[in-house]
Amino acid sequence: MGGKKKVHPKTRTAAFKASEPSEIVEAPHSFVIHRGLACPYITDLTLDFRRIMEPFTASNLREKRMNRIKDFVSLSSFFHVSHMGIFNKASTQLSFKVVRLPRGPSLTFKVHQFTLARDVISLSKKQMIDNDHFKHAPLVIMNNFSGDGKHLKLMATTFQNMFPSINLATVNIGTIRRCVLFSYNPDTKLVEMRHYSVQVVPVGLKRAVQKIVKGTVPNLGKSNEVVDFVTRTAMPPNQRPKMMSNHMWCWHRLLKARATWRTKRAP
């Protein structure tokens, strides 16, 4: 007589995987770690790069000296990790490797120069820091990667696949608050990477109207009415928009978003 097979119930891990939306599962995820000699600047650089890769990265990933790269690779399938960034500090140089999991390819770069986020923020006059900016993936811009050579196409494809793609038909412009720029210099053969905080600015409106809509209190000492303040200066011809319909559509969405924000703040 054949024995009965014992049916095991679904574990919490399987239930958690099934509950994840398809957009999160299919989005590229990443691990960013550092190897080699101990250096506090490399640790800060690793944390800054994790910040760039948010929200689909392990921001609080803890590394131990006993950990090996194969340990992170073994966990990559469980966390849907598709890319791994590795900073390696040697005695003479710093390198950065981008690995496509699980079968490659891998790209290795020599880091010639870097600036930490805290140094950039300390030198900025207008600081735009908000945790809400990191709830959505950044916009990726590629520059000068269209030349001849398979290495340029490989770099462009790798950099683009590190971040989720943006559907122009369904994307909400208000969620695009960051931008990552990859620029290749064919003369020096260096790749420059920059991380920006961006905001949508209306085009085709007078500066006075922009101040009123944004909530800035203007100086009305020389005006009898608000109309005098708005019509006091005319828009220069070189600043007049050529595609007013598209700009007005964007501005309408901004006005709608701002009205919703004011409604939520109202008691």
pLDDT tens figures, 177-204: 999 999 999 999 999 999 998 877 666 6
Model-level pTM greater than 0.95? no
User: Quick one: pLDDT at residue 174?
Assistant: 82
Q: What is the mean pLDDT of residues 138-167?
A: 92
Higher pLDDT, 226 or 95: 95
Answer yes or no: is pLDDT of 262 > 50.
Answer: no
Domain ranges in the chain are 20-119, 207-265
DSSP lists the bridge partners of residue 179 as 139, 196
CA dihedral 230, 233, 239, 243 (to 10 degrees): 40
Q: Is the pLDDT of residue 211 over 80?
A: no
d(C-alpha 249, C-alpha 162), whole Å: 31
User: If you average pLDDT over residues 148-170, what whole number do you get?
Assistant: 91
How confident is the model at residue 49, as a pLDDT?
97
DSSP result, 205-230: S-HHHHHHHHT-----TT-SSHHHHH
pLDDT in tens, 123-139: 888 777 778 889 999 99
pLDDT of residue 261: 43
Copy the structure tokens of residue 166. 């943006």
For residue 147, what pLDDT is reported? Answer: 80
The CATH number of domain 20-119, selected from 3.40.50, 3.20.20, 1.25.40, 1.10.260: 3.40.50
Q: What is the pLDDT of residue 247?
A: 41
**Other Cβ atoms closer than 10 A to 117:** 16
CB 108 within 8 A of CB 151: no
d(CA 150, CA 152): 5
